[in-house]
Amino acid sequence: MAHYPVMLPEVLDTLSPRAGEIYVDGTFGNGGYTQAFLEATECSVVALDRDPTVRTQAAVLSEKYGERFRLIQTSFSKMDELGIGQVDAVALDIGVSSTQIDQGERGFSFQKSGPLDMRMSQSGATAAEAVAELPQAELEHVFRVYGEEKHARRAARLVVRAREENAIATTDGLADLLERGLGRKGRIHPATRVFQALRIFINDELGELYEGLCAAERILKPGGRLIAVTFHSLEDRIVKTFMRQRCGGGQSGSRYTPVAKKPPVQPSFEVTRRSVLKPSEKEVTKNARSRSARLRWALRTNAEPIADEYSPLRKFPRLQNYGWAA
Ligand SMILES: C[S@@+](CC[C@H](N)C(=O)[O-])C[C@H]1O[C@@H](n2cnc3c(N)ncnc32)[C@H](O)[C@@H]1O
């Protein structure tokens, strides 16, 4: 299935492209957003993607738009380390692309047989390695936190028992194991949440998201637009909390940040109109995958970036906690 750029009209409306401006498309994918920005006006786009296979599509855009476009293969959490200077907008369209999901050999989907891989960057630890090596308690934690899986303990136990017999190396191997062990009730495949959890873990998706938002805060000019499209509640919560906090919310104090002891912080972002948008009914009818999308956006002020003392990621299982590089 071709990749369909999710919420593109809303992304364009909030980005409001202007000639001469520089944008970062942090999740190039099939280039749907980038191409729309370049078509809209005489702007420049620095596109980032950690998946090396997007180069083919990037070559097509380079041919067409010349120096107005370039692709850097990297994680968007590093966007402030690339020497691209200050920019006018950053757009993030979080998650995997339909192209990645649809390629069985990438191992993202339990509906396609393939190796249990799931790495967007095609480097680092694979999902098969996580399933083979993580202790049972850690597997359970990953399934519970990133999959919000009610049966996390049972799923982890099933994996550990099965791997004592044979390695779990394929998507269908893991999906069948979970289906047999957890049973199937209703429409949703019992492997859905475990697959989501492993994908988020292997790609450190929530760590990337939070660090990407912080990096965007550092490179956006005053008046610059930060736009993030997310697909599930775990991601949306990170963006919502980040934007609220940066817009001056969350300063009423908590048990960790007693307000009386803190000097007031100038908001580094502001919201001038509706800051959360959903896809139109028309879009959801055309592309069912867009139904859970949420777009949040805010405008950079001229205040200093806000230092975060309490990252929301501190309780999440992350690759580096296990000595694995993301
Ligand atoms: C949903 S797709 C983006 C689709 C794109 N907006 C379009 O219109 O074609 C997400 C893309 O972001 C990439 N990606 C996800 N997380 C990333 C990260 N932390 N750093 C860089 N690229 C990332 C994925 O490899 C994938 O190609």
Local structure of 21: helix, strand or coil: coil
For ligand 1, whether the C-beta of 30 sits within 6 Å is: yes
Average pLDDT over residues 287-310: 91
Q: Judge whether residue 86 has pLDDT over 80.
A: yes
Distant-in-sequence, close-in-space partners of 117: CB < 8 Å, separation ≥ 6: 105, 106, 107, 108, 126, 127, 128
The CATH number corresponding to 122-202 among 1.10.3720.10, 1.20.140.10, 2.60.15.10, 1.10.150.170 equals: 1.10.150.170
77 neighbors 212 (Cβ within 8 angstroms): yes
Tell me the average pLDDT across 18-43: 98
What pLDDT does residue 326 have? 59
Atom of ligand 1 nearest to the CA of 76: 20
Residue 52 CA to ligand 1 centre (angstroms): 11
Q: Is 97 in the pocket of ligand 1 (CB under 6 A)?
A: yes
pLDDT at 272: 84
Q: Is the pLDDT of residue 317 over 90?
A: no
In CATH terms, 8-98+205-320 corresponds, of 3.90.180.10, 3.40.50.150, 3.10.110.10, 3.30.565.10, to 3.40.50.150
Assign 65 to helix, strand or coil: helix
Question: What's the confidence (pLDDT) of residue 100?
Answer: 92
Task: Tell whether the model's pLDDT for residue 3 goes beyond 90.
Answer: no
Pocket test for ligand 1, best of 27, 72, 92 (most atoms within 8 A of CB): 27
Nearest-angstrom CA–CA distance, 146 and 144: 6
Tokens of 152: 């996390």
Percent of the chain residues past pLDDT 90, beyond the cut: 80
Residue 203: CB partners within 8 Å, gap ≥ 6?
118, 119, 120, 121, 326
Instruction: Verify whether ligand 1 is closer than 6 Å to residue 58 (CB atom).
Output: no
34 within ligand 1 shell (Cβ under 6 A): no
pLDDT 10s digits, 234-265? 999 999 999 999 998 755 444 444 455 566 78
Between the CA of 163 and the centroid of ligand 1 the distance, in Å, is 32
CA distance 59 to 251: 46
Q: In this predicted structure, what is the pLDDT of residue 211? A: 95
Q: How large is the average pLDDT for residues 43-70?
A: 97
Across the chain, mean pLDDT equals 92
Instruction: Average the pLDDT over each of 84-98, 130-144, 216-230, 257-271 and give the range with the smallest value.
Output: 257-271
Distance separating alpha carbons of residues 151 and 156, to the nearest angstrom: 9
Give the per-residue pLDDT at 252: 46
Q: What does the pLDDT read at residue 164?
A: 96
Smallest CA-to-CA distance from 75 within 319, 317, 301 is with 319
At 197 the pLDDT is 97
Q: For CATH 1.10.150.170, list the domain ranges present in the chain.
A: 122-202
Share of the chain above pLDDT 70, in %: 94
CATH 3.40.50.150 domain range(s) in the chain: 8-98+205-320
What are the E-state strand segments in the chain? 22-25, 44-49, 69-73, 87-93, 220-230, 269-270, 276-277, 294-300
- Closest ligand 1 atom to Cα of 204: 19
Residue nearest to atom 25 of ligand 1 (CA): 51
As a whole number of Å, the end-to-end CA separation of the chain is 28
Quote the pLDDT of residue 262. 61
Residue linked to tokens 């020497």: 83
**Span 206-238, pLDDT tens digits:** 999 999 999 999 999 999 999 999 999 999 999
CA–CA gap between residue 142 and residue 127 (Å, rounded): 12
- pTM for this prediction: 0.94
**Over residues 177-191, mean pLDDT:** 89
For 101-131, what is each residue's pLDDT tens digit? 999 999 999 989 999 999 999 999 999 999 9
Stretch 140-164: mean pLDDT, rounded? 96
Q: Is 207 in the pocket of ligand 1 (CB under 6 A)?
A: no
What value does the mean pLDDT take over residues 162-180? 96
Mutation probe of ligand 1 site: the residue of 28, 80, 201, 204 with most atoms within 8 A of C-beta: 28
Q: Quote the pLDDT of residue 297.
A: 97
Burial 175-196 (b: 16+ CB within 10 A, else e): bebbeebbeeeeeebbbebbbb
Task: Report the C-alpha gap between 197 and 142 in whole angstroms.
Answer: 6
Confidence of residue 185 (pLDDT cuts 50, 70, 90): confident
